[in-house]
Amino acid sequence: MSAALKDVDQLTEADAAAELERLAKEIAKHDKAYYAKDAPTISDAAYDDLRQRNLDIESRFPQLKRHDSPSERVGIAPSAQFSEVKHAVPMLSLGNAFNDGDVEDFVDRIKRFLNLETMPAFTAEPKIDGLSASLRYEKGVLVTGATRGDGRSGENVTANLKTVADIPHHLEGAPDVLEVRGEVYMSHADFAALNVRQEELGKPAYKNPRNAAAGSLRQIDPTITAQRPLRFFAYAWGELSEPLSETQTGAVARLGALGFSVNADMARCDSVDAILAHYRGLESKRAQLGYDIDGVVYKVDRLDLQERLGFVSRAPRWAIAHKFPAEKATTVLKAIDIQVGRTGTLTPVAKLEPVTVGGVVVSNATLHNEDEIARKDARVGDTVVLQRAGDVIPQIVEVVLDKRPADAEPFEFPTICPCPLKTPAIRELNEKSGATDVRRRCTGEFACPYQRMEHLKHFVGRKTFDIEGLGEKQIAAFFEANEVRAPADIFTLKVRNEAGELSPPLAEREGWGETSVSNLFAAIDERRSIALARFINALGIRHVGEETARLLATSYGSWAEFRRAAEAAADPASTERETMLAIDGLGETVVSSVAAFFAERHNAEALDALLAEVTPEDAEQNSSDSPVAGKTVVFTGSLERFTRDEAKARAQGLGAKVAGSVSGKTDYLVAGPGAGSKLKKATDLGVAVLTEDEWLALIGSS
Ligand code: IVH
């Protein structure tokens, strides 16, 4: 507590970290009392002091800024307060295009995939900068409204969405099941007025209209949401009991006729030139629209083509967001810190004089790597141009040379890891390309405490083990005390604590008590059984993040199957490697990295220790009700109805594995005209050979 009384200037880093944690909790508690219960527990002045102190500490120790920092948030993050809604059809995100060339590539990809000579028509419409929501109507009655969440399930905010003026509660003449999707947003005028009111009430102002919309929609008390002027544009749909139309244009018009607000600036375009002209038009009238947009979304107009194009990972192949150029600002580069990532990469982080860009205060930006610093010749003391687009990490674009102080020295990138071991950090040579890796990486691997610590932090992260009460701070403390050095150690904490091996015992340490200790052990025990995708993600394999982990989990179904395949994939000629490479969304980089991870002795040992404590649950495999799920298919010869890519994507969408060559494991060979050696081999091996039409009949498509 004494730290709370110290001047910010006097705080040690440890004091500051502890105090930021305390402030985050305390401010959250007051926010809850204020926003959710409308019953403030302290005076406004005292509340402002808390926030100011939090800001002061963060500006002195920007590296300590917490993920749940009150300065990043207004109001409460009530995710735990709302029930969960599983989306009947996942809510997808969009791929991005940043320039005209990206748009041309997008159109070309679609033409190639569909084997079209000419471009299909597209719609082009504003990308609204709000938050997406899904509204489910059954027999014309609004029954559920949800946020996007992670795309698979979101928060049930029905009562709040019902307060939005342009969301109808009843529909006439709608399909029996209709899920309407669109964007909840706040206009500039309403945003400004809301902030005036907030200020009059002594409440913190919202940073930008999107935050205001999000904060307003996620209020626990819908009567508060009702006082917030939210709006909604409908632009997509989820589950439907009957189609809305044959085209995007028609479907949106139908939503308009049903009573939804639809955007008037949607155009139908027959050429790339027309698309780009619409983009430029919207860019120039952006400031007059009265609400924030951050780009233009292009969608293939014909819905049957959308269906054929399908999805990759979380984004449709048939749509893309063409972003407006990022907002820029100028500030001073105060220092360049080196951070060590989980895989040992030394990343330079620019510490900046705080500046507002794109509606938020930025004090850190990435400098990417050593070459990038050299290319920009960024020096401490320089004035730099900063840009920030959407939610991406702010970047330094260039240095303003005529403002460079006379004594600014070129930055010398360290060649040793900043960790206490001071291990050499090197840039590997890529054998294939002959080029040096842009990343300088610490060679300490398992010995490097920074890497191990990052690895453990990743292991307990929200998207991995997510153990309540065991956050980054606690992990760091256990790590420094030598009590948790590898993931398995987390699961033996309880036994060791009870055996008196932790000294002092956990409950006697600062920040812990009997209750929090028993809660922690209960939370750890809860994770002894864990979803396969989370488990794979937690391993921290290079190039395997949340999405890839999910893909691996649904492709292999069980840990045993995955591990067996991953170990066998180390052999470049193995069918396991080929099968893994055939998974849509995986390439050489991921597969090599997975194989290398399992081939490494330390990893295998750490895994075995972990598996003695934890059991990964089996995952539901893709489309297991399809007759081709889990089967291995090879396509050969020329296909007449589809391009090879489309055929492959469809098969994989149904849970089949697509391989490049025939082996004893092949279940079907789909042979078109001109099939040669593969056909012969399949016949020799007794593999079922199908024509393209027979294949289509098998998968129930024509
Ligand atoms: S279509 C399957 N259209 O952008 C495609 N999205 O970056 C679903 N967004 O999550 C999205 N305006 O929240 C679409 N006119 C628009 C949009 C739009 C804003 C948002 C949406 C989505 C995000 C993807």
Q: Report pLDDT digits (tens) over 202-252.
A: 888 887 899 899 999 988 888 888 889 999 999 999 999 999 999 999 999
CA distances from 666 to 499, 572, 628, 636, 669 (A): 54, 18, 12, 13, 7
Pick the closest to residue 580 from 535, 662, 567 (CA basis): 567
Annotated catalytic residues are 127
The pLDDT of residue 659 is 83
The pLDDT of residue 38 is 44
Nearest CA to ligand 1 atom 6: 127
Average pLDDT over residues 569-591: 88
Indicate whether 620 pLDDT > 80.
no
The winner for highest mean pLDDT among 53-67, 75-89, 385-399, 665-679 is: 665-679
Nearest CA to ligand 1 atom 8: 92
123 vs 601: which has the higher pLDDT: 123
Query: Ligand 1 center to residue 154 CA distance, Å?
Result: 16
Nearest CA to ligand 1 atom 2: 92
The pLDDT of residue 72 is 59
What percent of the chain lies above the pLDDT cut of 70? 94
pLDDT band per the 50, 70, 90 thresholds, residue 60: confident
Nearest CA to ligand 1 atom 15: 127
Q: Is 316 in the pocket of ligand 1 (CB under 6 A)?
A: yes
The pLDDT of residue 78 is 36
Pick the closest to residue 161 from 137, 140, 177 (CA basis): 137
* Least confident piece of the model among 6-20, 104-118, 544-558: 6-20
Give long-range contacts, CB 8 A cutoff, 24+ apart: 140-149. 140/170, 140/171, 140/172, 140/173, 140/174, 141/169, 141/170, 142/167, 142/168, 142/169, 142/170, 144/85, 146/85, 146/87, 147/217, 147/218, 148/91, 149/84, 149/85, 149/87, 149/91
Q: Is 378 in the pocket of ligand 1 (CB under 6 A)?
A: no
Q: Is 551 in the pocket of ligand 1 (CB under 6 A)?
A: no
Query: Ligand 1 center to residue 94 CA distance, Å?
Result: 7
Nearest CA to ligand 1 atom 5: 92
Query: Ligand 1 center to residue 277 CA distance, Å?
Result: 20
Out of 125, 132, 391, give the residue to mutate to test ligand 1, the one with the largest number of ligand atoms within 8 Å of its CB: 132
pLDDT band per the 50, 70, 90 thresholds, residue 413: very high
The pLDDT of residue 49 is 77
Indicate whether 453 pLDDT > 90.
yes
Q: Which two tokens stand for residue 529?
A: 């059984």
- List Cβ neighbours of 652 (8 Å cut-off, separation of 6 or more): 582, 583, 584, 622, 658
Indicate whether 79 pLDDT > 50.
no
Q: Is 367 in the pocket of ligand 1 (CB under 6 A)?
A: no
Indicate whether 182 pLDDT > 90.
yes
pLDDT band per the 50, 70, 90 thresholds, residue 7: confident
Q: Is 319 in the pocket of ligand 1 (CB under 6 A)?
A: yes
The pLDDT of residue 43 is 67
* Least confident piece of the model among 301-305, 364-368, 390-394: 390-394
Indicate whether 37 pLDDT > 80.
no
At the second CATH level, the architecture of 8-73 is Orthogonal Bundle (1.10)
Query: Ligand 1 center to residue 183 CA distance, Å?
Result: 7
Average pLDDT over residues 99-120: 95
61 vs 501: which has the higher pLDDT: 501
Q: Is 538 in the pocket of ligand 1 (CB under 6 A)?
A: no
Q: Is 548 in the pocket of ligand 1 (CB under 6 A)?
A: no
The pLDDT of residue 74 is 45
Q: Determine phi and psi for 184, rounding to 5 degrees.
A: -90, 130
Q: Is 293 in the pocket of ligand 1 (CB under 6 A)?
A: no
Query: Ligand 1 center to residue 159 CA distance, Å?
Result: 23
Indicate whether 667 pLDDT > 60.
yes
Residue 141: count other Cβ atoms within 10 Å of its Cβ.
11
Query: Ligand 1 center to residue 297 CA distance, Å?
Result: 7
Nearest CA to ligand 1 atom 16: 127
The pLDDT of residue 648 is 84
CATH of region 622-702: 3.40.50.10190
Residue 174: count other Cβ atoms within 10 Å of its Cβ.
24
The pLDDT of residue 77 is 40
Q: Determine phi and psi for 209, rounding to 5 degrees.
A: -60, -35
The whole-chain average pLDDT of the chain stands at: 89
638 residue type, one letter: S
Average pLDDT over residues 551-562: 92
CATH of region 330-403: 2.40.50.140
Rounded to whole angstroms, the Cα distance separating 71 from 202 reads: 16
Query: Which ligand 1 atom minimizes the distance to the CA of 96?
Result: 7
pLDDT band per the 50, 70, 90 thresholds, residue 518: very high
Q: Is 562 in the pocket of ligand 1 (CB under 6 A)?
A: no
Out of 96, 148, 183, give the residue to mutate to test ligand 1, the one with the largest number of ligand atoms within 8 Å of its CB: 183
Q: What is the dihedral of CA 19, 24, 25, 27, to 10 degrees?
A: 110
The pLDDT of residue 371 is 93
**Contact by Cβ (8 Å): 398, 423:** no
Domain range list for the chain: 8-73, 95-323, 330-403, 444-620, 622-702
Average pLDDT over residues 78-105: 86
Give me Rg for the CA atoms of the chain: 28
Query: Ligand 1 center to residue 583 CA distance, Å?
Result: 27
Indicate whether 290 pLDDT > 80.
yes
Average pLDDT over residues 666-672: 92
Q: Is 210 in the pocket of ligand 1 (CB under 6 A)?
A: no
Indicate whether 391 pLDDT > 80.
no
Query: Ligand 1 center to residue 125 CA distance, Å?
Result: 10
Query: Which ligand 1 atom minimizes the distance to the CA of 132?
Result: 13
Q: Is 234 in the pocket of ligand 1 (CB under 6 A)?
A: no
The pLDDT of residue 10 is 85
The pLDDT of residue 409 is 96
Using the 8-state DSSP alphabet, how is residue 436 labeled? Answer: B
Q: Is 92 in the pocket of ligand 1 (CB under 6 A)?
A: yes
Average pLDDT over residues 114-127: 96
557 residue type, one letter: G
Out of 96, 98, 127, 303, give the residue to mutate to test ligand 1, the one with the largest number of ligand atoms within 8 Å of its CB: 127
Rounded to whole angstroms, the Cα distance separating 31 from 245 reads: 46
Average pLDDT over residues 384-402: 85
Q: What is the pLDDT of residues 456-485, one digit of tens each?
A: 999 999 899 999 999 999 999 999 999 999
Query: Which ligand 1 atom minimizes the distance to the CA of 266?
Result: 15
Sign (positive/negative) of CA torsion 40, 46, 49, 54?
Answer: negative
Query: Ligand 1 center to residue 262 CA distance, Å?
Result: 13
Report which secondary-structure segment, H or E, holds 33.
Answer: none
Peptide bond preceding 504: is omega within 30 degrees of 0, i.e. cis? yes
Query: Which ligand 1 atom minimizes the distance to the CA of 263?
Result: 15
Q: Is 124 in the pocket of ligand 1 (CB under 6 A)?
A: no
Average pLDDT over residues 306-322: 90
416 residue type, one letter: I
Average pLDDT over residues 645-664: 84
**Contact by Cβ (8 Å): 385, 330:** yes
What percent of the chain lies above the pLDDT cut of 90? 61
Query: Ligand 1 center to residue 93 CA distance, Å?
Result: 6
| SS3 at position 460 | coil
CATH of region 444-620: 1.10.150.20
At the second CATH level, the architecture of 95-323 is 2-Layer Sandwich (3.30)
Pick the closest to residue 315 from 585, 106, 92 (CA basis): 92
Q: Is 207 in the pocket of ligand 1 (CB under 6 A)?
A: no
Output the DSSP codes for 530-587.
EEHHHHHHHTT-TT--HHHHHHHHHHH-SHHHHHHHHHHTTSTT-HHHHHHHTSTT--
Indicate whether 428 pLDDT > 80.
yes
Indicate whether 392 pLDDT > 70.
no
Residue position matching structure tokens 């979380």: 314
Query: Which ligand 1 atom minimizes the distance to the CA of 148?
Result: 10
